[in-house]
């Protein structure tokens, strides 16, 4: 069998992990070509004091701020086979994560395969009979364009570089500074100022605390339940900002009005892939979602295009490693290059209608429950070689639980999430076709969930993740 040629877009943690796994299979893959927009590895972990645009006019990619520390312990954040220095503290400054990625890159000899200062401008599928290849057009720092053909493309460009700013009526009336956390680097310039921070997730809380430490008066504006843990004295909580009035004052949802020097949006980021034609690929790329993707990873109709690392509320590096797990055996989800996914079957199972970009109950199980999540169940087995999904058993005449068939209690895909169910609980293809309005109802439910999703606000906070993982592993 001819070796596969793979393009990897991005040399952050996800792209480095993809390149590492590809390099580990020289009998199956040619050496990867890794396209990196900047002059260094690390992606969002590569701190850059510049904001706005680079000298070449391209927008600054990194959203890293100077004093960021990880909010996951290194013990669960690391790649499974590449530990952090055990002498380091559990919660690391971003510089240590960058050094870790540089060690990872050096250990696996990835750097020679990276084209730095090279932007991918277009990725186009070329379909010939039953084979799909990909034309990738890139542009280097000198302006030279190049188009190459690959068997597969791994999209590892991240999703923390295109700021999401919600529509607030009258925002143009604000007379102070309006910025997004993407352009925040350190707190000192805001000393003594009145700052409204919009959003109370990780960056909103981090930045609010940093601002309060340098004497800024911070209004933490959010729509979540009131935070009950202690906050510095310079921070007060308020309801969401609903408008900026004609005189430049800020009106909040509770009817109160105030003035501020700065509006700081800590409202997340959009998924944006300028090099992909979503209509041509039949993909829907929304602010916080890419669909349809099978197992959060690949479009069922184009199983040689991979989106690595778009899940949220996960342990990122282990998740990247799961998604990039490459195996010569057909059916491993990390290598669908040789697999012809049963598209009609997936449609009947509703996998392609919609999906969230987080693991929901698999990631944070109900309190007291032993987590059912396993990388093997989510990523490795279900595509074909290993456990089969129940409707596939019916079509192939495999008795449930026999010869690799789905066993009762296994995790299966049923629309928007993965659940432990018995094989008999899912309808057969014939039953699904005979149910009046079944698909229409499911489609409507999925659409309702999508339309009602508010950027993950209100999602329950995770429990002690170390305890979760220990319980999962039986420690």
Mean pLDDT, 10 residues at a time, over the chain (475 residues)?
Answer: 89 96 90 96 95 83 94 91 94 97 98 97 91 95 94 93 94 97 97 97 96 97 92 95 97 97 95 93 82 79 87 82 56 38 38 36 38 37 34 34 32 30 35 46 41 31 35 44
| β-strands 217-221, 119-128 pairing | unpaired
Q: Are residues 368 and 278 both part of a single domain?
A: no
- CA pair distance 471, 103, nearest whole angstrom: 30
Cβ atoms of 317 and 311 within 8 Å: the answer is no
Among residues 288, 318, 342, the one where a domain terminates is 342
Which domain does 437 fall in, by range?
344-473
- CA pair distance 191, 214, nearest whole angstrom: 5
The answer to the question of residue 166 being in a domain is no
Number of structural domains the chain divides into? 3
The answer to the question of residue 70 being in a domain is yes
The answer to the question of residue 1 being in a domain is no
Among residues 237, 265, 293, the one where a domain terminates is 265
Cβ atoms of 166 and 251 within 8 Å: the answer is no
Q: Are residues 157 and 14 both part of a single domain?
A: yes
Q: What sign does the dihedral 39-41-42-43 (CA atoms) show?
A: positive
Q: Would you state the pLDDT for residue 287?
A: 66
Element holding 289 (H helix, E strand): none
Q: Are residues 131 and 65 both part of a single domain?
A: yes
- CA pair distance 402, 423, nearest whole angstrom: 12
Backbone angles phi, psi at 309, to 5 degrees: 85, 25
Q: Are residues 338 and 348 both part of a single domain?
A: no
β strands within 10-83, DSSP E: 33-35
Q: Are residues 236 and 348 both part of a single domain?
A: no
Q: Which of 429, 425, 430, 440 is nearest to 345 (CA)?
A: 429
Q: Are residues 223 and 76 both part of a single domain?
A: no
Element holding 448 (H helix, E strand): helix 438-452
Backbone angles phi, psi at 266, to 5 degrees: -115, 60
The answer to the question of residue 450 being in a domain is yes
Among residues 230, 246, 265, the one where a domain terminates is 265
Q: Are residues 252 and 140 both part of a single domain?
A: no
Q: Are residues 141 and 16 both part of a single domain?
A: yes
- CA pair distance 146, 226, nearest whole angstrom: 53
CA distances from 27 to 30, 33, 54, 141, 164 (A): 8, 16, 40, 33, 43
- CA pair distance 248, 194, nearest whole angstrom: 14
Q: Are residues 33 and 114 both part of a single domain?
A: yes
Q: Would you state the pLDDT for residue 462?
A: 31
Q: Are residues 399 and 452 both part of a single domain?
A: yes
Q: Are residues 96 and 232 both part of a single domain?
A: no
DSSP state at residue 79: B
Q: Would you state the pLDDT for residue 384?
A: 33
CB atoms within 10 A of CB 248: 13
Residue 192: which CATH number? Answer: 3.50.50.60
Q: Would you state the pLDDT for residue 325?
A: 66
Q: Are residues 338 and 360 both part of a single domain?
A: no
């Amino acid at each position: 069998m001819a070796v596969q040629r793979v393009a990897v877009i991005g040399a952050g943690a996800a792209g480095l992990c993809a390149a590492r796994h590809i390099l580990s299979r020289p009998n199956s893959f040619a050496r990867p070509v890794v396209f990196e927009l900047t002059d260094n590895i690390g992606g969002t972990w590569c701190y850059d004091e510049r904001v706005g645009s680079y000298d070449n006019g391209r927008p600054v990619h990194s959203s890293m701020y100077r004093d960021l520390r990880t909010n996951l312990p290194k013990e669960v954040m690391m790649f499974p086979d590449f530990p952090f220095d055990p002498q380091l503290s559990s919660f690391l400054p971003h510089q240590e994560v960058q050094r870790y990625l540089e060690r990872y890159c050096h250990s696996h000899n990835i750097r020679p395969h990276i084209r730095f200062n090279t932007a991918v401008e277009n990725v186009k599928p070329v379909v010939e009979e039953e084979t799909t290849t990909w034309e990738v057009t890139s542009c280097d720092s000198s302006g030279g364009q190049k188009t190459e053909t690959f068997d597969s493309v791994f999209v590892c460009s991240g999703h923390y570089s295109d700021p999401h700013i919600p529509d607030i009526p009258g925002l143009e009336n604000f007379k102070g500074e309006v910025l997004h956390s993407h352009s925040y680097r350190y707190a000192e310039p805001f000393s003594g100022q009145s700052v409204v921070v919009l959003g109370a997730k990780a960056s909103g809380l981090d930045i609010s605390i940093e601002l309060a430490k340098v004497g800024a008066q911070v209004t933490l504006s959010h729509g979540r339940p009131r935070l009950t843990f202690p906050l510095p004295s310079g921070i007060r909580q308020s309801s969401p900002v609903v408008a900026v009035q004609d005189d430049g004052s800020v009106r909040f949802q509770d009817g109160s009005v105030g003035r501020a020097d700065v509006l700081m949006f800590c409202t997340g980021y959009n998924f944006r892939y300028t090099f992909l034609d979503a209509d041509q690929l039949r993909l829907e790329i929304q602010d916080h979602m890419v669909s349809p993707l099978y197992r959060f990873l690949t479009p069922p109709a184009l199983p040689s295009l991979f989106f690595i690392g778009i899940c949220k509320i996960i342990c990122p590096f282990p998740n990247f490693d799961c998604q990039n797990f490459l195996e010569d055996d057909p059916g491993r989800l990390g290598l669908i290059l040789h697999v012809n996914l049963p598209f009609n079957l997936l449609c009947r199972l509703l996998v392609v209608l919609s999906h969230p970009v987080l693991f929901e109950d698999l990631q944070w199980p109900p309190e007291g429950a032993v987590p059912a999540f396993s990388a093997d169940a989510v990523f490795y087995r279900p595509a074909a070689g290993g456990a089969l999904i129940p409707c596939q058993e019916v079509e192939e005449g495999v008795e449930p639980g026999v010869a690799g068939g789905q066993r009762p209690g296994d995790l299966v895909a049923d629309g928007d999430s993965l659940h432990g169910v018995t094989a008999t609980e899912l309808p057969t293809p014939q039953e699904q076709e005979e149910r009046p309005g079944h698909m229409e109802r499911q489609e409507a439910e999925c659409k309702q969930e999508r339309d009602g999703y508010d950027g993950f606000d209100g999602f329950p906070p995770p429990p002690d993740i170390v305890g979760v993982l220990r319980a999962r592993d039986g420690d």
